[in-house]
A and B are shown apart, each in its own frame.
Chain A
């Protein structure tokens, strides 16, 4: 479903602030794969997602989604087939618009937008039904402004919007990191449920190592702009948080030995 080949991303090339954020990333997701992504701060996880969704172009490499080479497609183009939930709950919804307006904007993803009335009665029924699944009582307040909702409610709504029409690929960038533990748990349960019920191919960044192993079917570890390790199948089943921690150490060690080689 998703193939990323040898992607290189350099920020501020040719300046003192030059930063190689992605250094030849290769990744392949089969349809229905649910891959968790871990790695320390600055490893390039968000950059990878931004490259896949077209927020900025890659210096080198290719991105293919469902057989379509989207490397040169603008962000809005890819928005038609990619669902996204951001870390910041404010980013995924329009605060000044109502719940149903936000939902209908998402509902028309990938279609040509016309100058006919946006919200039809039968849309409302569907929205109520879907909102009910969130269990946040939002189904009774379709006309409420989204800006009045809590961060957790907004994030749940964003998740619903990202999956309202089934995306070919779902990108979750630490989407529960900003929520309180209880709400985070609820939104995560919802995430698992929606992904499972709709068989959505998913890439999810998390800093929760336990969660990284508990959900999905594969885990990749990033370090210094590279995917340094991948866990799947039996190896993943046997792995624990301490396994991941020692893998982290290994990744760091490799970097030290690289440095030493440079010195020699």
Chain B
């Protein structure tokens, strides 16, 4: 039972990261790898500020803002310097490694006996408070995202990922939309990193490795099981995908898989899912009518 709750809580924290990945990969159609750098950035900023004595909520907000700036930088490299999206993410991720070390001042910051956002208030029992707080944060962000993606700007953002040519011809500057989308996405990821550091009680320079692949695996699991194409269902699918993915990991570890094999297993899940969906879409393409061979 304890293991179950702990896994659920991890899944909730990581669901913020997966929401970020959903925003970049699905909504914006931008294969953004900077998240491997912005997750530890969030952890580093939060841990650094908490150790320095700042309010943990303020530290969490600042971590989120730092992640947004990371996303803007990725977007800037692409929109202003016309660098390929994959490469922009790798560049930001690489550069952030040094930044994160600088922010942390060392490779690991323990957060023992520090004031953190999971400190219960109203005399609540600690376990209940942590779970309740995480559910509240995730529910609030899912709700806000849902509302945002239905606004005029939200629709323009989705159209940018869907058909750039069309939304440009309707008068929208898609460069701004990409900056906005990547900023939001990486802000979510850094928020996830800030919560993770406080939840596990430390920030570590290496904690971002494999973030993108884990995020993709969660995203795909959620989509396969729950998605029906509507935004509301997608967002719920993302959260459940994240929780299920953490459950799978906990299960295989419990079954005795050496932890070193986790990343390999995650990669295999993503490869299998991508292969399955690509083979399926090749089959679909053959059947769907061809309307135009454009010149």
Contact = CB atoms under 8 A, between A and B. Distances in A.
Interface of A: 41, 53, 74-77, 79-80, 82, 84, 86-97, 101, 104-106, 108-110, 113-119, 145, 150-151, 161, 177-179
B292 A87 contact: yes
Contacts of A92: 166, 169
A37 to B, nearest CB: 15
Given A41-B295, A117-B150, A118-B151, A80 B171 contact: yes
A109 B171 contact: yes
Given A108-B152, A114-B152, A90 B292 contact: yes
Contacts of B172: 76, 79, 105, 113
16 contacts: A79-B169, A79-B170, A79-B171, A79-B172, A86-B165, A87-B292, A91-B294, A92-B166, A94-B163, A104-B155, A105-B167, A109-B171, A115-B148, A119-B150, A178-B294, A179-B291
Contacts of A97: 155, 158-159, 162
Contacts of B156: 105, 113
Nearest to B173: A76
A133 B162 CA distance: 27
B292 A94 contact: no
Contacts of B281: none
Interface residues of B, number: 29
A114 B153 CA distance: 6
Interface string B265-295: 0000000000000000000000001011011
Contacts of B258: none
Contacts of B292: 87-90, 151, 177-178
B176 to A, nearest CB: 9
B293 to A, nearest CB: 8
B151 A105 contact: no
The A interface is mostly helix, strand or loop, or mixed, namely loop
A115 B153 contact: yes
Given A90-B291, A90-B292, A97-B158, A116 B152 contact: yes
Contact of B155 (A74, A76, A93, A105): A105
A118 B152 contact: yes
Interface string B60-73: 00000000000000
B169 A94 contact: no
B154 interface: yes
Of listed B158, B167, B168, residue having the most chain A CB within 10 A: B168
The B interface is mostly helix, strand or loop, or mixed, namely helix
A75 B166 CA distance: 11
Contacts of B152: 104, 108, 113-116, 118
B130 interface: no
Contacts of B173: 74, 76
Contacts of A53: 169
B154 A87 contact: no
B171 A77 contact: yes
Given A97-B158, A105-B159, A113-B172, A89 B153 contact: no
Contacts of B294: 87-88, 91, 178
Contacts of B289: 151
A150 B158 CA distance: 22
B229 A145 contact: yes
Of listed A94, A108, A114, residue having the most chain B CB within 10 A: A94
Closest 4 CB pairs of A and B: A151-B291, A178-B292, A79-B171, A80-B171
A96 B291 contact: no
Contact of A96 (B151, B162, B169, B170): B162
Contact of B163 (A95, A109, A145): A95
A84 B65 CA distance: 39
B114 interface: no
Contacts of A93: 163, 166
B232 interface: no
Nearest to A145: B229
Given A76-B174, A113-B153, A116-B151, 12 more contacts: A74-B173, A76-B172, A91-B294, A95-B163, A96-B162, A97-B158, A108-B152, A114-B152, A116-B152, A117-B150, A118-B150, A178-B294
B151 A117 contact: yes
